[in-house]
Amino acid sequence: MAAAKPIAQIRLPPLPSIKDIIRLYKLRALRELSQNFLMEPRLIDKIVRAAGNINNHVVCEVGPGPGGITRSIIKQAPRKIILIEKDPRFLPSLELLADACKDNIDVDIVTGDILKTNIAHFIPKDIKTGWNDPPPPVHLIGNLPFSVSTILMIRWLEMISRQEGPWELGRTRMTLTFQKEVAERMAARILDKQRCRLSVMCQSWCTVNYKFDISGDAFLPKPDVDVGVVTLTPLKHPIMNQPFKLVEKVVRQIFSMRQKYSLRGAETLFPEEAREEMVRRMYKMAELDPVTRPFQIANGEFSRICDAYSEIIKKYPEFENYDYRAPKKPKIPASNEEIILVE
Ligand code: SAM
């Protein structure tokens, strides 16, 4: 089927302002759903512009609320909009918008939790591209609720690593807001004081671009913190060669003692009896100096540590499920002790 001809811009009919919508439908912001609404159309347009060209694209918006960002997305004439909103009180205002653009844009309104919604289900499959092609005409946009933003990001990174969900269709891009401190961590490079597990996880699978800050004053009600706008594009060639869960475990343990030499955290990947020997071996295999601190380790070096850890647990599968945080330490069979000590 031939693709529909893109429309340059859509002009919405006169609509009540977002402020009026909130007043009209008595939409008191709920703290438990992290509801902080953006009121300033120019700022909202700036977020949507950060997504680049979305004309004739499929756009999924997370948490549209009263629809400020949705209006700005509609103006860019996407092919389809998928709105996923947990709070059903916003349905009438979103339906009003869907009705206003029904002649040009297909709108799906989903009342549900983003953490439980299969976005791919709503995306037409005819826009699939190969992983090594330029990103498909699909975009995920959201002024995310603080309460779910980090967990959602980690979940999406895992889906990206498996090319599942919206990433079945190719390297689907994202334009998202986070608490400023979280956004800075996501983008923090080696030697940056903000560098942490989230930095390594995000940058191992995506190009992360910190676009701009939004002052907390721009929201109603005003949150305690400022906000950062970030774009993420999945990498053609992820930096990590290992499964997501393995990488998550290794990176988490290494950053668990962030002020100390990285080997201190790395030791916690192994039971006490084997620690010294296994970590020495792991750093040797990865060709990494054990006296580097976690924030001094580059993404590629983390990848080598993960490869080395993977080799070690292949050889000593009894270490694979070792959990430093578990209350009881598993006993290592005596027969392993010999193997461990022999290089
Ligand atoms: N997009 C609007 C704006 O920018 O003004 C509202 C943003 S507000 C920070 C977050 C929105 O996400 C709220 O509308 C809230 O109801 C919704 N939300 C909260 N938790 C959600 C979840 N788990 N799934 C989907 N939407 C959620």
Q: Which one of 71, 85, 144, 148 would you pick to mutate in the ligand 1 pocket, going by the greatest count of ligand atoms within 8 A of its CB? A: 85
Residue 2's pLDDT is 46
Residue 257 in tokens: 């003692």
Residue 340's pLDDT is 35
Residue 23's pLDDT is 87
Distances (CA, A) of 19 to 22, 83, 146, 184: 5, 20, 22, 30
| CB distance 106 to 58 below 8 Å | no
Residue 123's pLDDT is 97
Q: What is the whole-number distance in angstroms between the Cα of residue 134 and the centre of ligand 1? A: 30
Ligand 1 pocket residues where CB is under 6 Å: 33-38, 62-65, 68-69, 84-87, 113-115, 143, 145, 148
Sign of CA dihedral 119, 158, 229, 132: negative
Q: Is 302 helix (H, G, I), strand (E, B) or coil?
A: helix
Residue 328's pLDDT is 63
The contacts of residue 259 (CB under 8 Å, 6+ apart) are 293
Residue 332's pLDDT is 54
Residue 251 in tokens: 């990176």
| CB distance 16 to 39 below 8 Å | no
Residue 25's pLDDT is 81
- Amino acid letter for position 89: R
| CB distance 126 to 99 below 8 Å | no
ipTM: 0.99
Mean pLDDT, the chain cut into blocks of 10 residues (343 residues total): 60 88 87 91 97 97 97 97 97 95 95 97 96 98 96 98 98 98 98 97 98 96 96 98 98 95 97 96 97 97 98 96 78 45 29
Q: Is 155 helix (H, G, I), strand (E, B) or coil?
A: helix
Q: What is the whole-number distance in angstroms between the Cα of residue 9 and the centre of ligand 1? A: 26
| CB distance 209 to 230 below 8 Å | yes
Residue 104 in tokens: 């040009």
